[in-house]
Structure 1
Amino acid sequence: MSQPRIRILLDNDTGIDDALALAYLAACEHVEILAVTATPGNVDADQVAANNRALLALCGAPQVPVLIGARKPLVVPLLTTPETHGPQGVGYATLPDAAPAEPGAGERDAVDHWIEAARANPGELTALLSAPLTNFALALRREPRLPWLLGKVVIMGGAFYHQGNTTPTAEWNTHVDPHAAAEVYAAYTAAAEAGLEADKLPIVCSLDTTERFEMRPELLTDLAAAAGCTEPETVSEDDPEGTRSTASNPLVRYLSDALRFYFEFHRDYDQGYIAHVHDFFAAGIAAGTLEYKSRGANVAVETESPLLIGTTVADFRALWGKPANAHVVTWNDPGAGFAELVEKLGALARRLPPAP
C-alpha cells in the first residue's frame, strides 16, 4: 500500500544523527523535502548548511533549498560539540561542499522561507525540528499563526524522566537555546488556550524514548549488504580509532565514517560501542513510518536556574492548570525502526553510482 505524500520543512544542526535522519528522509519516496534550514548547534550555521548541501547532493537531491536563519541562540552564547560529532559535525565523514541548491538560496532567510511556505500551504506541511529551537522561535515571533498554518510538528529535544545528556537534567538541543525552547512551548500553550486543535500540537521525542534507538555496528554490515556493496562492511571496537570505510557504495561509506566517530564517542563516555540516533526516530515520526505512543502534557523549560537551565518539565496531570501544549512520546519500537532504516537506505544506496 502506498503511503500518503508528506511534505517536510526540516530544521537541523547536522550533526551525525541529523545526517542519518536527512539521508533517511531523502530515501523515502513518499517524502518531499521542501527545504532544509540550518540552526547553529552541533556546529555553527555555515557548517551545518555545508553539511546539508553535500549530503543532499550525495543522496540525489541537490535541488532542495538549504537556508540559514539564526547564527546564534536567542540569549546565551553558542555552544558547539566537536567532541561528540567531530570538528565538522559529521565525524570522520568527508564530502566536497555542494553549491547552493538554486541561485541566491544562500542569501534568503530561513525563517521567512518557513513562514512563506506555511502561508502558501496552510495545514499541509510537516515541520521537523531536530536542532535547537532558535529558528522556530523566531518564526513564531514573526507569524504567531504558525501553529494553525502547519499540519504537523515534530520536535527532537528534552528529557523528562531520563537523565540529561548535556547536564544532569538537560538534553543537548534544549540546553543550547533554552530561551527559544521556552518561547516555543509558551506559544503552543497560548495557541491551545485559543483553541488550537490537539492534533496540531508538537510531538516531542525526548531522550526518554530516543535513547532507546541504540544503534550497534552490525547495522552498518546489514546496510552494506542491502546496498549491494562488493565487500562486507565491518566496524569493530577493536579497529584502530579513526579507521576509514572502504565501502564500494558512497552513501554507506559516508554513514560508516560518520557513525564510527559516534560509536567511539559513546564508548569514551562509558555508554558502550553504540550510537544513540535520536533524530532518525523523530524523522520516522515526521515521515509517518515509525510507530509510537504519546501522552498530552504541558511542557515548560527552565531558563533561570544555573543548575537546571535547559531542563524540560512536563505536567501530565494539569497541576499547573494549563492545557496540553505537546504530545510527549512515551513508547517506540527500535527493532522495527532499524529494519525500516536499513530497507530505505539500502534502496537509496543501490540507486547511487559506485564510490570512486
Structure 2
Amino acid sequence: MPSTPRAPAEGGTRPTLAVVAQRAGTSVPTVSKALRGGTDVAPATRERILRVAAELGYEQPVAGGLQGHDEQSAGLVDFVLASVEGSWANSALGGVEAAASAADLDVVITLAREGTDWVDRVLRRASCGAVLAVIAPTPEQWRRLAEAGRPVVLLDPMASPPRGVASVGAMNWQGGRSAAEHLIELGHRRIAVIDVSDSYEYSRARLDGFRSVLSAAGLDVAEADRAHAGWKRVAAREAALRMLARPDRPTAVFACTEPLALGVYEAAAELGLSIPADLSVVGFDDLPEAGWASPPMTTVQQPVAEMGAAALRMLLRIGERPAADGHAPREELATRLIVRGSTGPAPA
C-alpha cells in the first residue's frame, strides 16, 4: 500500500496541494477552492481539508509568490488553439471557461501560430493541463508534452489521437449522414460537396457519412462536383462558381463548414441562382452566422460549447486519475440537423 504523506520535518520540503488532496481524499481543485474560501465546497469536505492542511503544516502561498508546480497548477488551465477568430473559437472558449470556472480555475489562451513554439509557452507555466483545439501537434511536440507530464485533451481532433491521449469531438459521420438523407428526401440527385481537406479526420468523417447515404441510394459525388477549400470562404466561392456555371450543375451543395457554405451563397448570388429555388445548401456547425444568412441556413449542429466544457472536465478527470492501461477516454457528442430556409425540393 502507498505510504501516507506526513508533514515535513523542520527545514524539509513544504507540503503541496496534491499532498493535501491525497490525504483528504479529494481533488486538487477542490482543495484549492476550500483554502481560498470558495462557497461551493460541502462543509464537511471543507472542514476535512482545513484539518489536513493544518496537520501537514500547509501554508497558502501569497499572490505573486507561487513557486511550486502544484500551487500554480491548481489555479490555471491552458487552452491552445490556432486562432481566436470566428464564432467556433468563441463558442469553444465559452464552454472551456464555463467548466473551468465551475472548478475554480482560470483559463490561459495560447495561440498555436505556425512557426511558433507554442509548446514552450505552455510548459513555461505550470497548470492543470491543456485542451488543444483543432490543432495537430507534431511527434516532437507530443514527446515534449509527455516528458513534462502535462495532461492533454484534444478538442475536435484533426487526426487520430496518439495512444494515451484523450479527446472530445462530435459525431461527424452521423452528421454527414443526416445532411445527405435530408437532401435525398427533397429529391436531389446531383449533389456537390465542398470540404476542408482529406487530411483532417473530422472532414473525412463528414464526407464518409454523407457518401454512405448516397451510395445506398445508388448515387455518388461526381469528381467535378467535389472540392477542397481549407477553411477559406473565398476558395469555396471560387469552387462553387466553377460547379454552378456548368449546364449540368448540381442542384444542392453540402459544405462541411459554415464559412464554406457562405462562400457557396456568394457564388449563387453572382450567378443569379436563388436559394433554395435553384440551389439547396447545407452547412455544418450551426454557428450564429448560419442563422444570420439570407435565407437562414440549414445546417448540421455540433454542440461546440458543450464540447469545450466536456474537454475541460475530461482534462481534470485524467489529471486526477490517469488511465493505468494507457487507453485514454474518447467522447463524441451528438449532432443534429437543423432545417431552415436554404433547402427545398430539387428543381424540376
Do the two structures share a fold, i.e. TM-score over 0.5?
no
TM-score, reference length from structure 2: 0.31
Larger radius of gyration: 2
Higher RCO (CA 8 Å, separation ≥ 6 residues): 1
